[in-house]
Amino acid sequence: MRLLRLTSDLPDVGPDPVLVAALDGWTDAGSAGTSAAERLIDQFEGTELGAFDPDALYDYRDRRPVVEIDQGLLGVPRWPELHVDVVTPPAGPTLIIVGGAEPDLRWRTVAEDLVELTEVLDIRRYVGLGSVPGPIPHTRPVQLISTSSDPDLLDRFGRPHEQVVVPASCQVALEASFRTAGLTTLGLWARLPHYVATDYPAASKALLERFSAYTGTPVDTSDLDAAIEDQREQLDEAAAASDEITEHVRGLESMYDAVVEAERLERLEPGDGRLADLTAEQVPSGEEIAAEVERFLRGRAD
């Protein structure tokens, strides 16, 4: 391994260990994926297995280290890092969790090192935890979609309806590399309101619940409920204070409900084209959604 430096001996991971990844960046909206991964490490007292050489991965002019200055006294810089932890839950498989700051450089080398690690530890499954902003209202449940090398997993955990071409994050590129290497891959992606610029605990909870359903990991998310309720109340108050925001949220609710209903009918009568029959008024095109997002954000900036 060229960049990954192991800081402890390779563990006995038991049968069917699972590689997990959650990196910050544009596919970590609301810090949902990274928060979910950190909860797994904290809840089950994970231990560090290794870390990547940060000097090889980061442009420090773009992602500068953070230094605390206390009345003129400099603290120790906190450098961006990409680390690998081992988590052994009381039930379910051992988890090898890759987390931290999305690298600026050497993505393919990172992927090669991680593929080599999967070969050494006989890891055959991968799960990614991430999140993206979308035309989703905060008044509805978090919507989850998936990417996978297995069509059955796509049907089970939520297959995106559209075909899109987007700039890849490092996490997406890693998943593609793991698929090419022969792992069974599952990327879990929470879609959360594009107008929420802070952490979104409801998305982290949704990711962990879906992760638990797949791996059998007994994750406790009950302590997130209070934060979820508080944020919902704050967003409701913000919406109520502006007719424009209220109208915007209602429009998102109509789109969300139309898609949910079409999906329900599609499950009852597979192949009847209900999803394809949705009108542009019910589910606008990507260009229309982007224009609406830009309009809304411009209005808030003003």
- Over residues 24-76, the pLDDT tens digits come to 998 999 999 999 999 999 999 999 999 999 999 999 999 999 999 999 999 99
Specify the higher pLDDT residue, 198 or 289: 198
Q: At what angle do helices 201-215 and 32-43 cross, to 10 degrees?
A: 60
Q: How far apart are CA 24 and CA 130, in angstroms?
A: 9
User: What CATH number was assigned to the domain covering residues 4-221?
Assistant: 3.40.50.10900
The structural domains of the chain, with segments of one domain joined by +, span 4-221, 242-301
| pLDDT(230) > 80 | yes
Sign of CA dihedral 26, 131, 278, 153: positive
97 φ/ψ angles, rounded to the nearest 5 degrees: -105, 120
| pLDDT(293) > 80 | no
Specify the higher pLDDT residue, 111 or 197: 111
| pLDDT(179) > 60 | yes
24-28, 96-100, 143-147, 161-165: range with lowest mean pLDDT: 161-165
| pLDDT(247) > 90 | no
| pLDDT(248) > 90 | no
Average pLDDT of 208-219?
Answer: 97
84-93, 191-200, 260-269, 283-292: range with lowest mean pLDDT: 283-292
Helix (H) or strand (E) holding 19: strand 18-23
Average pLDDT of 276-301?
Answer: 49
Structure-token pair, residue 37: 């991964």
Supply the mean pLDDT for the chain.
Answer: 88
Average pLDDT of 64-93?
Answer: 96
